[in-house]
Amino acid sequence: MDYDAEKNKMIELISRLNAASAAYYNGEEIMSNFEYDKLYDELTALETETGEILPDSPTQRAGAEAVDELPKFRHEYVALSLAKTKDVDEYIARFREHVYSTRHEEIHNRKHNNHVTVMWKCDGSTVQLYYNGGRLEHAVTRGNGEVGSVIDHNAPYIKGIPMTIAFSGKLVVRGEALMTYTEFERINSELPVEEQYKNPRNLANATISLLDSREMRRREIEFHAFDLVAKEDSPADREKHAQVTERKDADVRGAETVESIWFNDLGDDFMERLNWLADMGFNVVERTEVSVDELKDTLAQWEKRVPEIDFPVDGLVCTMSDCAYSRDLPGTGHNPHIMKGMALKWQDETAETTLRDIKWQATRTGLLAPVAEFDPVELEGTTVVRATLHNLSYILSMDLKLGDTVQIAKMNKIIPAVVQNDSKEREWEGEELPEDLKERYAVPAVCPVCGAETEIEFTGGNTRSFVVKCPNPECAAKKIRSLAHFCERDCMNIIGMSEATVEKFVDEGIIHDYTDFFKLDEHPEIAEMEGFGEKSWQKFVNAAENAKKCTFSGLFNALGIANLGKGQAKLLYNYYAQNGTPGERVSENFLADVKAGRDLSEIEGIGPVMNQAIHAWAEENLSTGKTALCTVFEKLYAMVDITDDVIPEKTSDGEENTASAAVSGKTFVITGAVSHFKNRDELKEKIESLGGKAAGSVSSKTDFLINNDVTSTSGKNKKAKELNIPIISEEDFLKMIGEM
């Protein structure tokens, strides 16, 4: 063995891995998970071979250093990272080794001696919660495992974290703060391209560490508890527990009260501990308990379910159900013993192909987004031919050139990505641009839409990366993207009006601004255009006519106001609907405040950045006579019928009306096609307007699954039936709220 060569390689790997970790925990991603795991495994193998671990090795750390801007907190119970593997057979063998070892015959008579608890390995940010006296004292990020960052100010806005619990002793709970794919897409779509995140994990990490909790409030983060770390009863708890035990011993009727669950000794059953946390009000990770002989089938069944769930998971975690046995087993210093928890990470299915082209797509903000096109490959049951490359920095870090042999994978089994370049020749330090940039990497010299000479900028947003930009303010792509955005489902929902169609109509002089979509009946020439016909023209006319009936949030989302999307429009709507004069129009209340220069950041969930963006939009669109846009908005506003615009009358004595009473506080999941509403989003809006919640996946928190095909064998129907959740049709829902 060449010791010096091995040591130099270890130094190189440590430097690259630590740089990637530092970037990741500051909201940037300079290396894919696939590449990080590969280098990490290579370093681990070298450390085993040489018997030496160098300073700063990432194999000896549980996480990242705490964020500087937030207060630090030293964990009372160190939050170690779990040992992991991608080898299923090895994974199962490790558990079987302990379960069936003759050295542990003394535990074989206990209830769960051969059982394992299986849970999702959620892909978010680990948070540790500290309770005392029935109240949350601190919420702390894992940080480096020993010191984390205090996020107490954001904890009240993370779903699944109770602020108070029915237990007055000391309690430490560990779990994962994560963001669903649905919420990720909503937030990301509202951010400028240079500030968008690559995945829900990065956005969740950045969100829980926000200094301004007002911004936190407009983003939905879920907490999934996965471990009861420590529990210390208070004297009052112990006395109450003794009283309950005494009543049980006396066989008094009603002794099996909830108190006997809350204040009893939890014992050494891992599942019982998690169930107790659920009783306390925590959102607990989905879990099941199986014998080690059933483990292989269970792991395979859960892996098949990944595409059906709405939140990111990058594997599974198993722990020995018998805590008494696992408690005394020694760890490694940076990992607990595998019987206390071991991660099975997905063995990403990869496919080799050839990179044929990099297409640069112009966006509404002027940035050019690179997309890789390659020979078709089959992954996770689908054919994949393209994947986003994020930005110029990503291309440089992977040294991606046309004709290269690359590896493609679906990250978290969902998102196609170029994860490795087998033809890589250079390492890029991430600071200076190479001199042969445009020749080597197919970076466009001019905008593919308007022909203006492109510019390369270093962004100051979340990505902190090099990007390619079109500086032309009159670039047709910006106009086309804005008009296409206006037609999208979450906006005016003009069915069939794709971006390609919008581009054709702009080129033909049919569409100039938003109002022209509602004048398509004046353009019979559409029926003569290539690719269309009489029926197509009539469909566009009908779709636009139907779109005139819109919601407040749909209309203002459609206008493309910077930093304001459908979620923020809903916040504005809810505020004015609740605080305005009954019988008046929500939109007029809102527009009057904007014209008067009111500081809208006073409204909960609307921060100063959004307030500034709304007033900047108003300066161009509402100040009569200043710009042509004023006339456009005035005409558009007169054309549409905002269906939820009238502020509702208050019911007598503050009582809820029948519809609100039926829906308020309940969680609905919608699947399948709808017929009474324009689309599922309109149904979701109806639910939310009545105080309910529309979730993306079925869980124990779901009250109703809405599916017009109640006999369907879909995954959501099966899950609902397993959990005894009622499956209702659209008509059932309308009857529930008194509209049928």
Query: What single DSSP character describes residue 678?
Result: S
- Where are the strands (E) in 363-498, listed by range? 367-379, 382-388, 405-411, 415-421, 455-458, 466-469
Write the single-letter amino acid at 577.
A
Neighbouring residues of 238: CB distance < 8 A, sequence distance ≥ 6: none
Alpha carbons 518 and 542: distance in angstroms, whole number: 9
Q: Taking the CB of residue 583, how many other CB atoms lie within 10 A of it?
A: 9
Q: Tell me whether residue 735 is one of the annotated catalytic residues.
A: no
| Phi, psi angle pair for 304, to nearest 5° | -65, -25
* Contact (CB, 8 A) for 212 and 195: no
Write the single-letter amino acid at 141.
T
Pull the structure tokens for residue 365. Answer: 């903000």
Q: Which residues pair with 177 in a beta bridge?
A: 125, 223
- Where are the strands (E) in 562-655, listed by range? 641-642
Pull the structure tokens for residue 478. Answer: 């910006």
- Nearest Cα neighbor of 421 from 348, 370, 372 is 372
Alpha carbons 125 and 200: distance in angstroms, whole number: 10
Alpha-helical runs (H) found in 111-234: 181-190, 200-208, 213-217
Sign of the torsion formed by the C-alpha atoms of 372, 377, 381 and 382: positive
Write the single-letter amino acid at 658.
T
Neighbouring residues of 36: CB distance < 8 A, sequence distance ≥ 6: 17, 20
The active-site residue, picked from 121, 410, 686, 716, is: 121
Alpha carbons 25 and 22: distance in angstroms, whole number: 5
The DSSP annotation for 53-99 comes to --TT-GGG-SS-PPPTTSPEEE-SS--PPPEEES-HHHHHHHHHHHH
- Nearest Cα neighbor of 591 from 580, 582, 602 is 580
- Nearest Cα neighbor of 131 from 122, 140, 144 is 140
- Output the 3-class SS for 500-556: HHHHHHHHCCCCCCHHHHHHHHHCHHHHHCCCCCHHHHHHHHHHHHHHCEECHHHHH
Neighbouring residues of 735: CB distance < 8 A, sequence distance ≥ 6: none
What is the number of residues in the chain?
740
Strands 72-74 and 313-320: unpaired
Strands 313-320 and 287-291: unpaired
* Contact (CB, 8 A) for 453 and 445: yes
Alpha carbons 76 and 434: distance in angstroms, whole number: 48
If residue 320 lies in a helix (H) or strand (E), which one and from where to where? strand 313-320
Q: Taking the CB of residue 195, how many other CB atoms lie within 10 A of it?
A: 16
- Nearest Cα neighbor of 494 from 569, 549, 557, 563 is 549
Alpha carbons 373 and 359: distance in angstroms, whole number: 7
- Nearest Cα neighbor of 180 from 601, 722, 693 is 693
CA angle, 327 then 328 then 329, to 5°: 95
Alpha carbons 286 and 91: distance in angstroms, whole number: 20
- Nearest Cα neighbor of 576 from 657, 491, 647, 649 is 647
Alpha carbons 418 and 311: distance in angstroms, whole number: 22
Pull the structure tokens for residue 350. Answer: 């990869």
Catalytic residues: 121
